[in-house]
Structure 1
């Protein structure tokens, strides 16, 4: 029979179903599945309790009491999972299987209670009146399930209380709403289990869902419980590290995040006009300030700079009215400040560094210009000096030749001295030729001559000149396989041979010969090359220094006091490269060295662009 308790329970069912439907239509929120599952479980529980009240027969009442166990177990379980998801993080799907599995198992145990008596040990009406409520003696499984449910209820209280403690005022009311809504069924169930509280002689827990539904209705309609956007905006405002202030139309601060409140320590900015706040009044003039504004001082007493951005806050429709004006009106503004102190200091340091670099660059350019002028003057002086020296040296050599012819007949004792004079003159001429050649090679406009050369004659002349400059030394020539001629720059190639022979004679003992050999070898693609080697039995080159022997101004560490400038072999490599060839060395310390010059015999291999792009190193 339909009674007031049944009507109240059915009303609770409608309220919870309405809340579940509203929740389903809302935008997704954390724990939505658990919340809806909780509402449906509560509806199941309240419906079974209502039917238990309506049916008159005790057996029917017992059946619907057993049917209610699925909702009894699932409702608090899903409620706890919902709170965890909403306040912490979304629970994994596997945890939702726990209340479903335990609820189903308990429901099955309740429906088979007659066989084991683990939930209800005895059931009897509380009076002889028709449709009287039943009194249940509870078994062991009932108390085990109750403990299981209380674990979830305690977890709900702990999670919600922790949320209230951590919450900011903007959304602390939501967590308090959770506690209020949860406390009602909790108190009702504890009172029923202890036997101290019943409602209409029935378990008051299902009735408590009517009150919980009303609380949720108020939270949803008045406090927008599941409208996360306002809550998220409040959280975001507090989490933003930059100062943010919300001003109304009169310039009064109505909201400020912690970073903004820190700009006016010891003073509450809320409710005050921006123009009244020390350090922030410069921002009250309005507009968007792109330039940095000095506001406060840091711990070192230096001014901190901020960039201020003002965003208007409007209210009304975006569609213009009939007068052509927008239906919106400005109700305030959002003032965002970005701390650019470090950026401004870095920019100042960068500007200072750039200024100093510019000064250094100008100074370096001036020094470079002066150095280039000095080098040009030096080259001009050396060139002039070399030419000026060659003229008197030629006169000395010519006079020595005339005297030598006359001395052979009249004063044989003067011949060795005249030969020594001529050798000294030739040595000096070779040094001057090397200096002039190095100067020419360093000129980007230098280009090779393309003369037909008689190789045997060129090599014999170079060997004879070096032999005359080193009396008593023996130069062995092997020109049997030497090609008859080639195209190239004769003076430069002769200078290469002079430098190679001079090095060999300089760094080998007086009793050992120097061998000059020339032959033809086939290179890649069938191209013929002139191979020219100069071998000595001298001091050799240390293995660690072989790779550097062709570097400009480099001299091996074992050369001792032997005269030299370190440019001869470098010049050989550069001249060989201009002819499209290479020069290599094979040396063993204390045994001797073999320098091999390889030059293509075809004219096409000669460098067409002079010294452009060729390093002197």
Structure 2
């Protein structure tokens, strides 16, 4: 009973201390432990078994509430005040358990039987427990475990300076656990009674020592003051009249007056703009991006930007607003970076617009140039045809009258044919670049087409020989005759151009089954025309073979040989439009083999070639 009186004094002393988190729960826990201990004391003093049972039942209010209030106190102290409604839940459970205990004779859910420990008058009782007893025990132990978890997490989150206080919590919490465990196992009793209630009184005594000697509950306000001083951003507390009642060192330095506390905000030169700011923004309730617009303050001639947040301070149960907390976050560097970024974006946007203007002008010039070249090509074909016709007539006349003129006339005709081939290539490239271009689907006599192409190339290159191998060549196929003939002309022309004199060029055509690349183990099946042009010329360097079909690309070893880099690109584009491919096998200094494969039936759908000649998805040559 002396311990109970001491506990009641501690409860009264704790209530008069400055407010600290969990104070209400701490005081209620002391009162609950005092209730429990008083009932245990009364049980030990009375002698009749029925009276002892009554006081044992009276103790259940404290038995249930003490551990749960202890857990709530630790939670509030380490993590923040819990709402009052949760405290009402604990009290409701305690009252319900107390009512069940007082009516135990009707249901025997808590105590099923009692018997004295011995025959001595007034001897303590041994209780046989019912199902509700064990359920309540689990409930109580859950709160005890919660106390350990909350305290352990507080140790983990606390700074080293405050961890000893949380360790003290854990040590003190071990006392009720040891007492209860000893009672349950039958190894520890106090006057033959449960010592758990007295252990909670001992806990109260330890906390009284922490309060009186170690200033445990004074630590939190001190820590909060230290935290306010350590915050690098200015923080001010204003009363309802706008007077500064508290300010951290950063705010005092910003105000330029260390005697700013007690003065009105509007009277502080460095901060007066804050008092005139219209519609101050309250602290954002949700995530970032909801704060107020920055304000610019003159800090001793240095203009700095701050995000200002106003937090209203309320007092009493009615929530009457008594002042506000003013927090300023220095965002000068961020604002300067944003300004630089905005300037960079503006300059980049201006550069983009200028580039788009120049690109549009270039595209327009390119279209005009292409139109001029197309027109010029058409215009040149007519005089070239006249020159070629005149040369033919002169050849007929020279055979009789001036045989010595025949070589010169033949040279004129070869030059004309060379110019016509160049014009045909330019016109074909222009047609292929037209988005509206469509292939013709004519039935072609392949052997005749290939022989004519070979003969034309031989005529253009006197003394050069094209060997034909048409044994396996299909007789008919569907395709665009002029375009396919142009492919053969370009392949033969390249082979003859880059082969040494006297070295033959071989043109071979055959049909094959299988996929586009000639394999028979997959791919798109069907009948294919395969056409290869083989030479023993200079070959193509290893690092340039993948680019040989690019528009305007010429290998580095072509020297001074004439060429535009358009022909092979055109061959690939025509092959793709027919649903086929063109590949290259070359060895530097030994020669090259170009192989064109095209389906013999209806051509597979293919997208028109883009204007720059590149074919997306085209396999490398």
Pick the TM interval, shorter chain. Answer: 0.5 to 0.7
Relative distance call for 1:554 and 1:10 in structure 2 (3 A) is closer
Larger Rg: 1
Contact map agreement 2:8 2:30 (CA 8 A) in 1:
no
Give deviations 1:280-309, integer Å, cap 9, x for gaps: 0011126315332111448xx541111222
Q: Distance in 1 between matches of 2:169 and 2:321?
A: 47
Deviation at residue 12 of structure 1 after TM alignment: 5.0
Calculate the TM-score normalised by the size of structure 1.
0.64
Match of 1:392 among 383, 395, 411: 383
Match of 2:482 among 482, 491, 494: 491
Q: Distance in 2 between matches of 1:359 and 1:448?
A: 43
State the secondary structure of the residue aligned to 1:520: strand
Q: Distance in 2 between matches of 1:249 and 1:600?
A: 90
Relative distance call for 1:305 and 1:488 in structure 2 (3 A) is same
Give deviations 1:363-389, integer Å, cap 9, x for gaps: 212211221221111111111111111
The residue aligned with 2:135 is none
Contact map agreement 2:234 2:248 (CA 8 A) in 1:
yes
Q: Which moved more, 1:579-588 or 1:308-317?
A: 308-317
State the secondary structure of the residue aligned to 1:480: strand
Deviation at residue 215 of structure 1 after TM alignment: 6.6
The residue aligned with 1:363 is 354
Structure 2 gaps of 5+ residues are 13-26, 32-65, 79-150, 177-202, 282-291, 516-523, 616-621
The residue aligned with 1:53 is none
State the secondary structure of the residue aligned to 2:565: coil
Contact map agreement 2:469 2:507 (CA 8 A) in 1:
yes
Q: Distance in 2 between matches of 1:96 and 1:210?
A: 9
The residue aligned with 2:163 is 88
State the secondary structure of the residue aligned to 2:408: helix
Deviation at residue 340 of structure 1 after TM alignment: 2.1
Contact map agreement 1:516 1:534 (CA 8 A) in 2:
yes
The residue aligned with 2:308 is 308
Q: Distance in 2 between matches of 1:213 and 1:514?
A: 107
Q: Distance in 1 between matches of 2:77 and 2:475?
A: 100
The residue aligned with 1:518 is 509
Deviation at residue 476 of structure 1 after TM alignment: 0.6
Q: Distance in 1 between matches of 2:207 and 2:168?
A: 27
Spell out the pairing of 1:50-69 with structure 2 (5 A cutoff): none
Deviation at residue 219 of structure 1 after TM alignment: 9.3
Structure 1 gaps of 5+ residues are 1-6, 34-80, 101-208, 319-327
State the secondary structure of the residue aligned to 1:305: strand
State the secondary structure of the residue aligned to 1:393: helix
The residue aligned with 2:295 is 293
Relative distance call for 1:210 and 1:427 in structure 2 (3 A) is closer
Give deviations 1:2-59, integer Å, cap 9, x for gaps: xxxxx988965776799883696353449999xxxxxxxxxxxxxxxxxxxxxxxxxx
Q: Distance in 2 between matches of 1:614 and 1:410?
A: 52
Calculate the TM-score normalised by the size of structure 2.
0.64
Q: Distance in 2 between matches of 1:352 and 1:94?
A: 58
The residue aligned with 1:121 is none
Contact map agreement 2:256 2:270 (CA 8 A) in 1:
no
Deviation at residue 470 of structure 1 after TM alignment: 0.2
State the secondary structure of the residue aligned to 2:398: helix
State the secondary structure of the residue aligned to 1:371: helix
State yes or no: 1:249 paired with 2:248: no
Spell out the pairing of 1:145-544 with structure 2 (5 A cutoff): 225=217, 234=225, 237-285=228-276, 287-288=279-280, 290-297=292-299, 302-318=302-318, 328-524=319-515, 525-544=524-543
Q: Distance in 1 between matches of 2:611 and 2:233?
A: 56
The residue aligned with 1:616 is 614
State the secondary structure of the residue aligned to 2:328: strand
Deviation at residue 261 of structure 1 after TM alignment: 2.7
- RMSD (Å), alpha carbons: 3.9
Q: Distance in 2 between matches of 1:449 and 1:92?
A: 95
Deviation at residue 530 of structure 1 after TM alignment: 0.5
Q: Distance in 1 between matches of 2:348 and 2:544?
A: 39
Q: Distance in 2 between matches of 1:94 and 1:11?
A: 25
